[in-house]
Amino acid sequence: MHEAFASGRGNRRPGIRTQAVVVLLAGLLFAAFAQAQVVTGIVLDGTSGSPIAGARVHVRAMPSEPVVLTGADGRFELPIGAAVPGSFQVSAALSYDKAAAINYETAAISASRGADISIGLRRIPAADNLSYQPIAAAPPDGCGDCHVEQYQQWLSSNHAHAADNAWVRDLYSGDGTGDPSGPSGDGYVYLDSHPPEQSGFCAVCHAPNENPSAPDAVRFNEIASAPGREGVTCTSCHQLHEVNDNVTSIHLLGNAEFRFPLAFGGGGAGGSSVTHQHVWGPLDDVAFGQMRAAYAPVFSQSRFCASCHEYNNPATGAPGQETYSEWLASPAASAGVQCQTCHMPPAATAGTLAAVGQAPTRPGSQRHDHSFPGVYSGRLGTPVALSVEGVASSTELSVTADVQNLVTGHRFPTGVDVRNAFLLVEASIGGTPLALVAGDTLPFWVDDAVPGVQPGDHSGQPGRGYAKVLAGRIGGTGPEVMPVPFIDAERVESYTAILPGATDHSAYRFALPAGVSPGTPIDIRARVIYRRAWRAIAVTKNWVVNDDGEPWERLVAEVQIQRPVGSGSVDPIFAHGFE
């Protein structure tokens, strides 16, 4: 028994040892595997060799992978997911801060699982290139040489035509769509009604590259350089190093700032200036031999767009554009939806940001449309939903109309002060219009300035106007006029544009002709019409289609219904609109 027992223990002992060895080996293998799924390292100042704290580190061009921040000692430990290919790069970037004593370019180096790496960040030069003018986008030697896809998209944008916008030129100097002695010079012309020393503010946003050091000294009709004539081009945005909270100032006059670092590269004594390579953008992993990119989170925020899409008259404080303020109070802002979400939508497919070099393939979420589609051009769907209902008694027709602003980020309409829209409601029997007896009527600004009533003049007809009407004296002298451009505005007369996501409700009552038979069909038609400028301006200057092929006037919604003449009283539901 004792021997048998001893023999049994002896037989089990080798199995226990084997199991322990297996467990130990498995633990070692797991530890080795875990170590292989991590890249460790340090991020250093490329000039001083000092560690950089707070740098963002992650696998380049893979936004689904985690981002880690370096500690006070500059070190990091980056997990590498199973989706990361065998060959990859690790990038490091420090968020750009104008107030910081030192700022850095983004960098990236090749790495492998389990590696310990060192990433040096090159400093952005503190000195500025005072003689630099931003380069043109057009090839050769422009941004379009490398960024072919983005350049082609931009060519179709309104930004690309900002500096030679014929309608703006008609308003500024009267010579945009023709000779100033013709219709283009009729009506409002800024230079005809303001002192010669005043240049206006058009070029500040429309041609910021013409004279960055003194953008408000540029006359819009004298823009001559290639970068200036390209309008709002690549460097107009990507060489801005700051967009601050002073959003009521006009772009480069207090809300935004260019930065042109004095940098050199290439051969020879000191090399040649490469200031044009210094750019800022929304990605924290752009590292390319011919660029010196810096990471600026503001590029992904609506505040960046406020630089040109929000401003006041600097003398009177009257609002010009308020699109950013509208967004701040909107459902879109509450949901974290930025301007760029809609107006720079992501690409449907993966691809590169540059057509040359070793640019990594990026997912569509990191490749954005640079044609800047807008709702009023019809490229982002219909901006409003229109619904109409009607009911008739034996003597009267009641109509209700709802216009819902489907845009949740800003009003309908939004943008420059000359934009306007209106709802027109019509009712007829057998082609004969019915007379309105109660309800809103369209304001004076839907008409032209020609004596009499022309087709397209609708003031006094049933409907609602949606616009911001500014009042002021032209050039600060003479009687008050409205509507006036923001540059002459002294106050807001009315602001009826529909709030983001809101619905404008209106009701109307029409008289029926005496003796009309019950069951006779009544035709009801409602239209929402959007205009890129006041009708008085467009008709006076003979505008039809702008440089981008967009019409001056666009029908954005229409509903036509028929309702029979009734035999009783009006449904009380419709009467509520007149209480």
Q: For 68-107, write each residue's pLDDT tens digit.
A: 999 999 999 999 999 999 999 999 999 999 999 999 999 9
Q: Which of 299, 300, 296 is nearest to 97 (CA)?
A: 296
- Of the CA atoms within 13 Å of residue 156, those in its CB half-sphere come to 12
The pLDDT of residue 174 is 96
- Range with the poorest average pLDDT among 34-48, 204-218, 303-317, 560-574: 560-574
Mean pLDDT over 135-164 rounds to 95
CATH 2.60.40.1120 occupies which residues in the chain? 38-121
Q: Which two tokens stand for residue 512?
A: 């029926």
pLDDT surpasses 80 at 350: yes
Mean pLDDT over 164-178 rounds to 95
- What is the length of the chain? 579
pLDDT surpasses 70 at 13: no
Q: Residue type for 89, please?
A: Q
Instruction: Count CB neighbours of 477 within 10 A.
Output: 9
d(CA 229, CA 226): 5
Q: Write the DSSP string, 152-184.
A: HHHHTSSGGGSTT-HHHHHHHTS-SSS-TTSGG
The pLDDT of residue 51 is 98
pLDDT surpasses 50 at 33: no
> Using one digit for the tens of pLDDT, what is the confidence trace for 425-477?
999 999 999 999 999 999 999 999 999 999 999 999 999 999 999 999 999 99
Q: Which of 496, 449, 448 is nearest to 470 (CA)?
A: 496
pLDDT surpasses 70 at 16: no
Average predicted confidence (pLDDT) for the chain:
91
The dihedrals phi and psi of 19, each to the nearest 5 degrees, come to -65, -40
Mean pLDDT over 188-203 rounds to 90
pLDDT above 90 as % of the chain: 84
- Range with the poorest average pLDDT among 123-132, 193-202, 446-455, 521-530: 193-202
Q: Which of 316, 325, 341 is nearest to 472 (CA)?
A: 316
Q: Residue type for 128, please?
A: D
pLDDT surpasses 70 at 34: no
pLDDT surpasses 60 at 54: yes
Confidence of residue 1 (pLDDT cuts 50, 70, 90): very low
541 by Cβ neighbours in 10 Å (0-12 / 13-18 / 19+) ranks as buried
- Range with the poorest average pLDDT among 257-261, 327-331, 546-550: 546-550
- Of the CA atoms within 13 Å of residue 262, those in its CB half-sphere come to 7
Those residues whose C-beta lies under 8 Å from the C-beta of residue 230, and which sit 6 or more positions away, are 136, 137, 138, 160, 163, 209
The pLDDT of residue 375 is 79
CA gyration radius for the chain?
32
> Where are the extended beta strands (E) located within 163-263?
240-243, 256-258
Q: Write the DSSP string, 12-31.
A: HHHHHHHHHHHHHHHHHHHH
The pLDDT of residue 303 is 97
Mean pLDDT over 481-501 rounds to 97
pLDDT surpasses 70 at 516: yes
Confidence of residue 288 (pLDDT cuts 50, 70, 90): confident
Mean pLDDT over 302-311 rounds to 96
Instruction: Count CB neighbours of 515 within 10 A.
Output: 6
Q: So what CATH class is 38-121? A: mainly beta
Q: What does DSSP say about strands 278-281 and 256-258: parallel, antiparallel, or unpaired?
A: unpaired
Instruction: Count CB neighbours of 32 within 10 A.
Output: 10
pLDDT surpasses 70 at 31: no
pLDDT above 70 as % of the chain: 91
| Number of DSSP helices (H) and strands (E) in the chain, helices first | 12, 26
What angle (nearest 5°) sits at the alpha carbon of residue 347, between those of residues 342 and 352? 135
The pLDDT of residue 3 is 38
Instruction: Count CB neighbours of 120 within 10 A.
Output: 16
Confidence of residue 15 (pLDDT cuts 50, 70, 90): low
Q: Which two tokens stand for residue 248?
A: 């009521």
94 by Cβ neighbours in 10 Å (0-12 / 13-18 / 19+) ranks as buried
Instruction: Count CB neighbours of 253 within 10 A.
Output: 15
The pLDDT of residue 12 is 45
pLDDT surpasses 60 at 11: no
CATH topology classification for 384-578 = Immunoglobulin-like (2.60.40)
> Using one digit for the tens of pLDDT, what is the confidence trace for 312-324?
999 999 999 999 9
Q: What is the pTM of this model?
A: 0.88
The pLDDT of residue 569 is 55
